[in-house]
Chain A
Amino acid sequence: MERRELKKILIANRGEIALRIIRACKELGIRTVAVYSEADVHSLHVRFADEAVCIGPGASSESYLNIPRIISAAEVTNADAIHPGYGFLAENAEFAEVCESCNIIFIGPTPEMIANMGDKAFAKNTMKRAGVPIIPGSDGLLTDVNEALAVADEIGYPIILKATAGGGGRGMRVVRERSELERAFDQARQEAQAAFGNPGLYMEKFFDHPRHIEVQIIGDTHGNIYALGERECSIQRKHQKLIEESPSPVINEELRQKMSEAAIRGAKSVNYINAGTIEFLYQDGQFYFMEMNTRIQVEHPVTEAVFGLDLIKEQIRVAAGEKLQGINPDHKLRGHAIECRINAEDPEQDFRPSPGKITAFHVPGGPGVRVDTHAYAQYVIPPYYDSLIAKLIVHGRDRDEAIGRMERALEEFIIEGIKTTIPFHQMMMRHPDFKAGNFDTKFVEHLKATKSAEMVA
């Protein structure tokens, strides 16, 4: 694959990630084009880009998700490539394909890779064939209760029955003992039929205290694929990550090797190009493939910190057809990094969104502290988009130093005029279980329950 020169990149995104991409482009001497909705006219990414094009009103469907307008903006500005960031159109295979047919380089994998990995069943099968451990379960839908019993015997209890057409917790049943399975099977089937018109069920092993641990991978167009350690992302609320760190406090070097090798095998089996993340479910020393994300992720800075890399620059280099050079298989992570997502939400009011005007804004500094933000004093947070206003990342020589440093940095972070999740993060850094590395994906949920119990008591 020949080298292509990228002279101008259009960033099809907004907020902190748009700024992040602009920064990488500036350092590479590449001109930038920002696209923005009318609600984002005063946004920082618009000011920092070399050129900016208004593409629509506030609503995402009319702006950041509007493919024709974004492509037009790339055409009128003569952009060579588009970086989709995360969210919005980043994992939209159609968008990647439209870029290709308009001769605009899409900074990411190919449309096929996006479509294939976006199909859960296909991704699972692909990983299975590549020898990546997958969550034990039924092979497709369960024909009847006898098959259910057989599969459950094989994979071991507890198991969970899930509706294939389902979501929202309906048509799901956790079964802990063989004696309960038949009744649960009937109930789940009926519920699924009533809720979704489709009684189809499948089965998976159920995990009581799972951790979400993901591996960053990156591949170039010369056949090289590297794994860049793991990220622990179990501190989540409603499936949204709040705190991420690298390395994971429970993964030793041996497990790291195994998980990295599995991730690389999986990525190689689809000849994956550019940055991606393989998410694993981890419990009791075992890891299982959950899904693959074919984009750069919000929490990429913690990996950048422990590996001393700029992942966005590497993405751009890969898109330009270059061989990955700053990375090698012996690359070892150094120290420990933690990221806290600062959202415009009120942790005291069940994380209710708090848009509005920021009246005071002072970011922390000092050694090992990084802040990625598009906010500033007098900035008005538009109500149309997500509530992420800043990412606070710290790097220390070990996990204890990182936690202490995060505590110190959170104390210095002044945001007034809106409610933020800073107090929540401060509480977390002091929490004995967090400090001990003892937590799973249910941690925040349990915190809430404990708090409610305390309030009632």
Chain B
Amino acid sequence: MKEELIRRLVKIVEESNIAELEISKWGHKLKISKYPSNSAPVSQAAGTHYVIQTPQSTDSNSNVHQEAATPAGAAEKPPETPQKGIEIRSPMVGTFYRAPAPDADPYVEIGDTVQKGQVLCIIEAMKLMNEVEAEFPCKILDILVENAQPVEYNQPLFLVEKL
């Protein structure tokens, strides 16, 4: 893909609320994500501000992966469509927990179907446990933060598909 296009796409991702953008064209796949693949605590991620990163940098905060086309035989394969999904974001500042207690099962796993009002996770703030509920029925596509990770206001927690 042309460098100019990559630069523009990185800029779009940086300036929007998009956490991850995946585009493929003629077998080339480009994935731009705002958060490193092994999630770092929010405090570190926020400290090195992503707006400073240049498209070519391999800095952990702005990852640009370009995969070359597979051999001619695979050219007939239909291009992958970018993942659809709605982000569920944190309504507060605190610590994200996937389960009601350290030894309990997580509230949800990837692939789960969730009802409206069902508890997705807990955000602990000032020693109080706050349940985050699903506001609509949905399917969990991805869990974007790790257990016990500090989260900030509006940080994306889950990627879901509205049902």
A46 to B95 Cα, complex, angstroms: 21
Interface set, chain A 39-57, CB cutoff 8 A to B: 42, 46-47, 49-57
List chain A residues, Cβ under 8 A from B93.
Answer: 53-55, 69, 72-73, 76
Whether B126 lies near A71 (C-beta < 8 A) is yes
The answer, yes or no, to whether B42 is at the interface (CB within 8 Å) is yes
List chain B residues, Cβ under 8 A from A52.
Answer: 43, 46-47, 49
The answer, yes or no, to whether B44 is at the interface (CB within 8 Å) is yes
Whether A72 lies near B51 (C-beta < 8 A) is no
- Give the distance to chain A from B161, nearest Cβ to Cβ, in Å: 26
Q: Which residue of B lies closest to A63 (CB)?
A: B153
Whether A51 lies near B46 (C-beta < 8 A) is yes
Q: Which residue of A lies closest to B149 (CB)?
A: A76
- With A42-B51, A72-B126, A76-B150 as contacts: A51 and B44 at CB distance below 8 Å: yes
Contact with A68, one of B43, B47, B126 (Cβ below 8 angstroms):
B126
A80 to B126 Cα, complex, angstroms: 15
- Give the distance to chain B from A219, nearest Cβ to Cβ, in Å: 30
- With A53-B93, A54-B46 as contacts: A102 and B152 at CB distance below 8 Å: no
The answer, yes or no, to whether B155 is at the interface (CB within 8 Å) is yes
List chain A residues, Cβ under 8 A from B151.
Answer: 76
Q: Interface residues of A toward B: which range? A: 20 to 34
The answer, yes or no, to whether A224 is at the interface (CB within 8 Å) is no
Query: What mask results when residues 26 to 56 of chain B are scored 1 for a CB within 8 Å of chain A, else 0?
Result: 0000000000000000111011010110000
Q: For chain A, what secondary structure do more than half of its interface residues adopt (helix, strand, loop), or is it mixed?
A: mixed
Q: Which of A38, A54, A63 has the most CB of B within 10 A?
A: A54
The answer, yes or no, to whether B125 is at the interface (CB within 8 Å) is yes
Whether B47 lies near A55 (C-beta < 8 A) is no
* Total count of chain B residues near the partner, CB < 8 A: 20
Q: Which of B51, B92, B93 has the most CB of A within 10 A?
A: B93
The answer, yes or no, to whether B70 is at the interface (CB within 8 Å) is no
Whether A72 lies near B154 (C-beta < 8 A) is no
Whether A54 lies near B155 (C-beta < 8 A) is yes
The answer, yes or no, to whether A193 is at the interface (CB within 8 Å) is no
- Give the distance to chain B from A7, nearest Cβ to Cβ, in Å: 14
Interface set, chain B 86-126, CB cutoff 8 A to A: 92-95, 125-126
- Give the distance to chain B from A134, nearest Cβ to Cβ, in Å: 41
Whether B152 lies near A73 (C-beta < 8 A) is yes
List chain A residues, Cβ under 8 A from B153.
Answer: 38, 53-57, 63, 69
The answer, yes or no, to whether A77 is at the interface (CB within 8 Å) is yes
Q: Which residue of A lies closest to B17 (CB)?
A: A38
Whether A54 lies near B154 (C-beta < 8 A) is yes
- With A69-B92, A73-B93, A77-B43 as contacts: A54 and B152 at CB distance below 8 Å: yes
- Give the distance to chain A from B151, nearest Cβ to Cβ, in Å: 8
List chain B residues, Cβ under 8 A from A73.
Answer: 93, 152
Contact with A77, one of B125, B150, B154, B155 (Cβ below 8 angstroms):
B150
Contact with B125, one of A38, A42, A51, A68 (Cβ below 8 angstroms):
A68
A57 to B51 Cα, complex, angstroms: 19
List chain B residues, Cβ under 8 A from A50.
Answer: 47
List chain B residues, Cβ under 8 A from A55.
Answer: 93, 152-153
The answer, yes or no, to whether A411 is at the interface (CB within 8 Å) is no
Residues of A bordering B, CB below 8 Å: 33, 38, 42, 46-47, 49-57, 63, 68-69, 71-73, 75-77, 102
30 A-B pairs (CB sep. < 8 Å): A42-B51, A46-B49, A47-B49, A47-B52, A51-B46, A52-B43, A52-B46, A52-B47, A52-B49, A53-B46, A53-B93, A54-B93, A54-B153, A54-B154, A55-B93, A55-B152, A56-B153, A57-B153, A68-B125, A69-B92, A69-B93, A71-B125, A72-B93, A72-B94, A72-B125, A72-B126, A73-B152, A75-B95, A75-B125, A76-B93
10 smallest beta-carbon distances between A and B, as pairs: A76-B150, A72-B93, A72-B125, A54-B152, A51-B43, A52-B46, A51-B47, A53-B152, A69-B93, A54-B153
